[in-house]
Structure 1
Amino acid sequence: MIVSDVVHPPYCYSSNLSPRLSRYFASPFFLALIILAAPCNVAIGASNVGIIDLSQLEPIKVKPKLVGVMNQLHINESSGLAASAIHDGIIWTLNDSGNGPKIFPVTLDGASLKSESVSGFTIEGAENFDWEAMASDHKGTLYIADSGQNFYFARTPIIYQVDEPVDLHKKTSLPLLRKIPYNYEDQSGFFMPRNEFDVEAMFYADNSLNFITKGWGNSGSKWYRLQESDEFGHAARLVTRINFGKALITGAEVDQSGLRLAVLAKRSIWLFTRKALGQNWFTGDIDHLRSRDIGVTEAITFYGNRLFITNEGGELYVISLNDIDRI
């Protein structure tokens, strides 16, 4: 079943517009018209939440190892990673905005498979307006987040839900299971600061999709949750605010056990470890891993006891958690 789009109030921007109309709506002329028009409210006010300060954690130095480079012909800006739950040695990735609605299986050295799937699996009925993240439920389902916010007015973010293909060597398209439009509970009005709702980090845990905003400026990041028990609904609840210092958050993923969460920024990874499913992530151990500069990092995923990281250039790096004394 495919969930229908949220109904947009007057003047609210829709991500389903054609590229030509999108450029028109981003023009100074259109923005001037909107300033003269009455703004629309697209969400209710958020509940009061606190701020968790992680900026003072003592960093643990790590050394990412370059293991390979993705096929630049098809993967020109990898912006999401998710380890396959049904194929050994496979990681899924996707391209950022300006590319087709495709996901790509790559091996643990970043190489494309020698098959038709080298050019990717097209998601039927999906559009890549600004794909920024992907997540796995570790049971064979993938979630793709069209959640980038490169403009200063409201755009309905969308999650695309698909099942991993059983055969990686024949079929080159995947049926869309669900299209999940949503908004953020503290989002209101047509215009919104980019630093408030730009999301590049998403993970699936405790039967919910979780989002961490990038954290432009000095406002810090915000953590939202979209519950599956409500069929995901349309409003992501604000869980907490987090101070990661000056870091811009670009990726997140939970391991297969559901007990470890990695949050990625350039040169930094925050590793959360809890003792039981459903437990608050902030009640367990939190480690700040610090690395050398490996470029503009875009995505992270677990594979066993290793962390795989990709950057804008399609380079794939690995960090073995076995080599870290504290963990």
Structure 2
Amino acid sequence: MNKVTVFLILVFLQGCAQKPYYGDLTYLGKLPSKLNEVSGIASVNDSIAWVIEDNGNKDHIYAINLKGNLVKKLKVENAKNHDWEDLAKDEKGNLYIGNFGNNANERKNLSIYKLPNPDNQTGNKIKAEKITFEYPQQEKFPPKKSKLMFDCEAFFYKDNFLYLITKNRTRPYTGKALIYKVPAVIGSHQATLIGEFTACKDPQFCSITGADISPDGKKVVLLGSGFIWLFTDFSSDDFTKGSLRTIDVKHRTQQESICFVDNRTLLIADEQSKTKGRNLYSYLID
């Protein structure tokens, strides 16, 4: 077999190789290896987003472009990454870091860090102010297994409040998420329970790992591992009283971050898990 034949066979085999499957998500790019545990994302515009990583990672926020490339990083002063789980953004571009990861439901130091608009920062540091809160319904730390509902990985900002959606860790698993609101004001607060939502009862896919609200305030999305729950037509703080559409994106990875770029376009990031993940995707709401 001559070299030309071998070359043609290799070209043919490469053309037949199966491309990676991303379901209904549009692959945008691979995130840097240093960002293998992205837990929160907030878009700045149609070309830049800020991301964070969760427990055990640095006290930094990172700007990426929509190909997943690192553009900038800032050290967050006056803050500690106990377990950063989501990012939210207000109308002035201020960022909020949800330092409320609580896997074992035993934390008594839950907090949210408020950062000034990072686009206006010069240098490589940014100062944080602190919002602390507690869940009035939690009486024991940790509670019994049937009441492990005080972990949180998802929140968004609306009208000077932060809306938190808890992550269910009950045994047996019920899938119920509690919805709280906390004033977006520096100081200590009691979270107000405003509703609850049960996505489904499969612990592999139905725990809420991210959330956001559209720029026009008319859509709320919650994220699971391969699912989006889209709420519209709501008229109260409890957005779950509106219309619900469950979207299966047909891609099963550890998806933990979601945000709106505009009123129809979503960004989603997943964590590295063995050979999968550490990607940035988009999804267009019909």
C-alpha distance in 1 between matches for 2:69 and 2:79: 25
Overall identity of the aligned pairs, in %:
30
Q: Which amino acid aligns with 1:158?
A: S
Q: Which amino acid aligns with 1:179?
A: K
Q: Which residue of the other structure, out of 177, 186, 189, is the alignment partner of 1:234?
A: 189
Deviations 1:283-311 (A, max 9, x none): 43321111112411011000112111111
Q: Which has the higher strand share?
A: 2
1:245 matched residue in structure 2: 200
Alignment of 1:202-241 (within 5 A): 202-216=155-169, 217-218=173-174, 220-228=176-184, 233-241=188-196
Q: CA deviation at 1:136?
A: 0.6
Cα distance, 1:67–1:88 mapped onto 2, change above 3 Å = closer
Q: Which residue of the other structure, out of 132, 135, 149, is the alignment partner of 1:181?
A: 132
Q: Which residue of the other structure, out of 189, 201, 205, is the alignment partner of 2:154?
A: 201
1:261 matched residue in structure 2: 220
1:155 matched residue in structure 2: 108
C-alpha distance in 2 between matches for 1:152 and 1:208: 23
Cα distance, 1:138–1:83 mapped onto 2, change above 3 Å = farther
User: Quick check: 1:121 aligned with 2:74?
Assistant: yes
1:133 matched residue in structure 2: 86
3-state DSSP of counterpart to 1:63:
coil
Q: CA deviation at 1:232?
A: 6.4
8 Å contact from structure 1 (residues 274, 280) kept in 2: no
Q: Which amino acid aligns with 1:186?
A: Q
Work out which structure has the larger RCO, using CA pairs closer than 8 Å and 6 or more positions apart in sequence. Answer: 1
2:65 matched residue in structure 1: 107
C-alpha distance in 2 between matches for 1:198 and 1:153: 9
C-alpha distance in 1 between matches for 2:26 and 2:112: 32
3-state DSSP of counterpart to 1:166:
helix
C-alpha distance in 1 between matches for 2:83 and 2:137: 21
Q: CA deviation at 1:126?
A: 0.4
Deviations 1:57-116 (A, max 9, x none): xxxxx711111111113x1210001111xx551111001111111110111121112xxx
2:13 matched residue in structure 1: none
Query: Any unmatched runs of 5+ in structure 1?
Result: 1-61
Deviations 1:253-274 (A, max 9, x none): 0111111111000111111123
User: Quick check: 1:320 aligned with 2:266?
Assistant: no
Q: Which amino acid aligns with 1:203?
A: F
User: Quick check: 1:76 aligned with 2:36?
Assistant: yes
3-state DSSP of counterpart to 1:256:
coil
C-alpha distance in 2 between matches for 1:123 and 1:193: 35
Deviations 1:20-76 (A, max 9, x none): xxxxxxxxxxxxxxxxxxxxxxxxxxxxxxxxxxxxxxxxxx711111111113x12
8 Å contact from structure 2 (residues 88, 157) kept in 1: yes
C-alpha distance in 1 between matches for 2:151 and 2:47: 31
1:67 matched residue in structure 2: 28
8 Å contact from structure 2 (residues 175, 199) kept in 1: no
8 Å contact from structure 1 (residues 154, 189) kept in 2: no
Q: How many residue pairs end up in the alignment?
A: 249
Q: CA deviation at 1:233?
A: 4.2
C-alpha distance in 2 between matches for 1:315 and 1:193: 36
Q: CA deviation at 1:242?
A: 1.2
Q: Which residue of the other structure, out of 249, 255, 259, is the alignment partner of 1:297?
A: 255
1:284 matched residue in structure 2: 242
2:50 matched residue in structure 1: 92
C-alpha distance in 1 between matches for 2:98 and 2:59: 11
C-alpha distance in 2 between matches for 1:98 and 1:136: 23
3-state DSSP of counterpart to 1:130:
coil
RMSD: 2.1
TM-score, structure 1 normalization: 0.71
C-alpha distance in 2 between matches for 1:218 and 1:210: 21
Q: Which amino acid aligns with 1:320?
A: L
TM-score, structure 2 normalization: 0.81
C-alpha distance in 2 between matches for 1:125 and 1:154: 19
Q: CA deviation at 1:189?
A: 2.7
